[in-house]
Every structure is written in structure tokens, then in C-alpha cells.
């Protein structure tokens, strides 16, 4: 037979211990505040000139880099160009972006563009199949251009851009 014995375990108590006292020390520091030599009026004038220069630069950059974006398909899945009618300045880029991944293309109607415009050079007859695929075109001849999506024209996927 096996015998089981119990043993008493005592746990020491540390109630009588005291910690060593920490020594306190003081640090003093002084700072000197210097005032700028420029007057407030001159500083405000400089800030105003900088603000006007920055705004003018931003406007100039924005005007040269303007581009229109047209979604191929609405956010709700409708088969439309969004926007379907818009205006751009001559030479402004137009980016058509496949919004939902359905196959779309952009075909300019040869009977609905300004005289002398070769629609084969501005149309994208190959399909943009994936969401996010883009086609960019720059129209320079002023006038109205009508375009459509070949597979979805019957569903009303047509658009119009006026170049000014």
C-alpha cells in the first residue's frame, strides 16, 4: 500500500520590511525668450505675398492639368455613361473609366462629330473588360461629339460631349 503524507508549507511574510528612502534632488532651469527683429506688419505682408503666389501657381497647374472623367456604368449598375452629357475645353483630356467590370467601349458616331474628324482615331472599339480600365482621348476640334457603347447602345448607353 502507498502512504500519503502531508507537509506543511510556510510562506514568509514581508510585513516588517521597509524600503530605502529615495533622495530628492532639485533641478533649476532658466529659459530666455528672444523676440524676432522683424515687425509684425512686414511678416504679414510676406505671408500675404506667399499666399497669393501659391494660389496663382495652383490655379495655373490646375488649368493645364484639367481632365474630365466619365464612368462607363453608373455606381448603381445602370448601363449609362456618367455623366452622359458634358463640356470640355479644346485640348482637355477625357478619361473613360470602366466602373463595374462589364465589357464597354467608346465609339464616336461618324455622322455626329464635327466635319473632318476621323472617328477611328478617337474611338476605343476594343472592349474595356475590367473594372478600373481606362481610355483617354483628347478632342481639339470645337463642336459636339456623340458617342455610344456598342454592346449597350440599345439599352441607352449613349453620350455627348461639347468641345469649346
Binding site per annotation, positions: 104, 149, 152, 157
What is the C-alpha separation between 121 and 132, in angstroms, rounded? 22
Longest dimension (CA), the chain: 114
How many Cα atoms occupy the beta-carbon half-sphere of 73 within 13 Å?
21
* Catalytic machinery residues: 104, 149, 152, 157
Cβ pair 113, 137 in contact under 8 A: no
What is the C-alpha separation between 76 and 44, in angstroms, rounded? 50
What is the C-alpha separation between 50 and 87, in angstroms, rounded? 34
**40, burial (CB in 10 Å: exposed 0-12, middle 13-18, buried 19+):** exposed
Note the Cα 34 to chain centre separation in Å: 43
Per the annotation, where are the binding residues for Cu cation? 104, 149, 152, 157
Amino acid at each position: 500500500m502507498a502512504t500519503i503524507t502531508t507537509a506543511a508549507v510556510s510562506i514568509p511574510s514581508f510585513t516588517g520590511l521597509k524600503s530605502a528612502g529615495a533622495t530628492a534632488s532639485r533641478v533649476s532651469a532658466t529659459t530666455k525668450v528672444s523676440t524676432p527683429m522683424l515687425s509684425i506688419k512686414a511678416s504679414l505682408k510676406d505671408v500675404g505675398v506667399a499666399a497669393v503666389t501659391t494660389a496663382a501657381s495652383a490655379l495655373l497647374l490646375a488649368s493645364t492639368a484639367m481632365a474630365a472623367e466619365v464612368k462607363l456604368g453608373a455606381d448603381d449598375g445602370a448601363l449609362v455613361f456618367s455623366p452622359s452629357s458634358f463640356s470640355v475645353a479644346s485640348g482637355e483630356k477625357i478619361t473613360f473609366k470602366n466602373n463595374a467590370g462589364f465589357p464597354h467601349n467608346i465609339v464616336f458616331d461618324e455622322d455626329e462629330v464635327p466635319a473632318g474628324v476621323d472617328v477611328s482615331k478617337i474611338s476605343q472599339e476594343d472592349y474595356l473588360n475590367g473594372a478600373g480600365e481606362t481610355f483617354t482621348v483628347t478632342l481639339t476640334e470645337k463642336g459636339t461629339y456623340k458617342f455610344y457603347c456598342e454592346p449597350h447602345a440599345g439599352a441607352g448607353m449613349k453620350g455627348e460631349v461639347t468641345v469649346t
